[in-house]
């Protein structure tokens, strides 16, 4: 991990894959990842960690299955949201979207428990910038 500034627009321009995050830096034991998103991700759960989302461009919707039922939150550009640990969730981007995610190093993009992983979703703990 380099200790140089990272321009997020340049980092995002360096790859084209959807739902395939790149690690732009680390903060203590957490990765800061950027990803491009469009269409559906998959239902999944992170049993031991919250998951922080910041929408850099576009719009992200996150469906949540909570104790009192299912709901969807909509995150426009500039919005942040944290999915609490243990909450089943499914991100969806209705338009091309760029996001920043903050979670512990080594956290899988498909969580600890998940539906079958579709071909367009990269099951990874994040890729280094190219």
C-beta separation of 62 from 73 below 8 A: yes
The number of C-alpha atoms within 13 Å of 41 and in the hemisphere containing its C-beta is: 27
C-beta separation of 70 from 32 below 8 A: no
Give the pLDDT confidence of 41-93 residue by residue, as tens digits: 999 999 999 999 999 999 999 999 999 999 999 999 999 999 999 999 999 99
- Does residue 2 carry a pLDDT above 70? no
DSSP helix/strand/coil, 53: strand
CB atoms within 10 A of CB 47: 9
**Beta strands at 69-76 and 30-40: parallel, antiparallel or unpaired:** unpaired
Give the span between the Cα atoms of 64 and 67, in whole angstroms.
10
Tell me the pTM: 0.91
- Compute the average pLDDT of residues 95-115: 88
């Amino acid at each position: 991990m380099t200790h140089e500034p990272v321009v997020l627009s340049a980092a995002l321009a360096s790859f084209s894959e959807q739902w395939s995050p790149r690690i732009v830096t680390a903060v203590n034991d957490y990765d800061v990842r950027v990803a491009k998103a469009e269409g559906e991700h998959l239902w999944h759960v992170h049993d031991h960690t919250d998951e922080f989302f910041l929408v850099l461009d576009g719009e992200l919707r996150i469906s949540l299955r909570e104790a009192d039922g299912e709901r969807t939150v909509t995150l426009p550009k500039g919005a942040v949201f944290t999915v609490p640990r243990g909450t089943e969730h499914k991100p969806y981007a209705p338009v091309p979207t760029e996001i920043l995610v903050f979670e512990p190093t080594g956290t899988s993009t498909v969580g600890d428990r998940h539906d079958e992983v579709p071909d367009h979703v990269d099951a990874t703990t994040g890729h280094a910038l190219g």
